[in-house]
Structure 1
């Protein structure tokens, strides 16, 4: 990775846990992502590690791996894992090029991350590749709104993108997930949550189709 490709947002990392209403807005939905998991789990774009305490509740049932390319975020995530007593294999790789073999994971989690990934289609292809057939992608993402809110997002996106560490307000992430040929929908729920302009919030579960082959 060249220096130009490095992801580093020290200010965003420093204030993230203070400005994001984790306890009141997202915590119960992160628990939904982590609930009942077992086997090998990958957290794609772990951020400051907000999902780690919820994964820790699964005890020794999970072998947790995570990627986070921002070194400032990754440092905070590592501390959060330690505070939760969770062993995490945490790496600085990008979602567009996951350093794992095919069919490596029983579940992949994405929480408020596909808004920041540079090439979301490549990242989703990688997620499908490393999921075993029958494995789940569980997600919590904010997406493009409708009506006047969508117009507001278009207006604000250039400034928001710079201030919020590369976050994009206009991603149609759910449509991208649903249309992937190797993933089938288990459930999708639009939540009465979120704060404009980073709303609506959608969560759900998809499963890699049995018999699908996503390797090149």
Structure 2
């Protein structure tokens, strides 16, 4: 699998979004996908990688998984990484949190049983490179669990295209018009277990999908 060099991307500078990091913690619970994060964290065990942990919103759900869990996380934004470290302490989850980008993961091949992507592929500068990296670090038959918003269709897609440059600056690098699910299911390394469109979210960051993919055996 290709291991692209993220330095060749125009967006490869280290993310630094202090205002967005602070505002995210203040969003009311009804705007956050709590039940769907429960889905991502259900029955976690083994070695798990949280791909782009942000402020650590998944940590409290993972903390309930039990002792048979080794939880790793990467987050390149220093503002969000500091908040994630505090969240891990607050909820009592031991997290091996690293400063790293999804496009160049500092882990060995076949290193994880589960990789979780929770509203993260919209912010990644090179999503194809990141998905290749996820495939590389997942063991054969391991799972990629995801919750992602994607490009809509019709006039909504056109509106997302128009809004994305401003939205990206205001929302921590988030792109509204990523076709993430098509990218996932088309990747040769994965077969889909389930993919579900949710009746959840607010335009322009809709539709939202969740699901699980299995890493094919070598």
Residue 9 in structure 1 maps to residue 20 in structure 2 = no
Whether contact under 8 Å (1:106, 1:135) holds in the other structure is yes
Secondary structure of the corresponding residue to residue 194 of structure 1: coil
Aligned positions of 1:13-162 closer than 5 A = 13-19=21-27, 21-23=28-30, 25-162=32-169
Give the helix-richer structure, 1 or 2. 1
Provide closer, same or farther for how the CA distance between residues 131 and 87 of structure 1 changes in structure 2, counting only shifts above 3 A. Answer: same
The residue that corresponds to 2:196 in the other structure is 189
RMSD over aligned CA atoms reads 1.4
Looking at structure 2, the residues matched to 126 and 58 of structure 1 have their Cα atoms a distance apart, in angstroms, of: 25
The residue that corresponds to 1:214 in the other structure is none
Please give the per-residue CA displacement for 1:16-62, whole angstroms capped at 9, x wherever unaligned.
Answer: 1223x545540110010010111000000000000000100112121
Provide the aligned length of Structure 1 versus Structure 2.
209
Q: Which runs of 5+ in 1 are unaligned?
A: 212-216
Looking at structure 1, the residues matched to 86 and 195 of structure 2 have their Cα atoms a distance apart, in angstroms, of: 32
Looking at structure 2, the residues matched to 25 and 12 of structure 1 have their Cα atoms a distance apart, in angstroms, of: 15
The residue that corresponds to 1:180 in the other structure is 187
Q: Which runs of 5+ in 2 are unaligned?
A: 1-5
Q: Compute the displacement of 1:146 (Å).
A: 1.2
* Residue range with higher mean Cα deviation, 152-161 or 172-181: 152-161
Task: Report runs of 4+ in structure 1 exceeding 6 Å deviation.
Answer: none
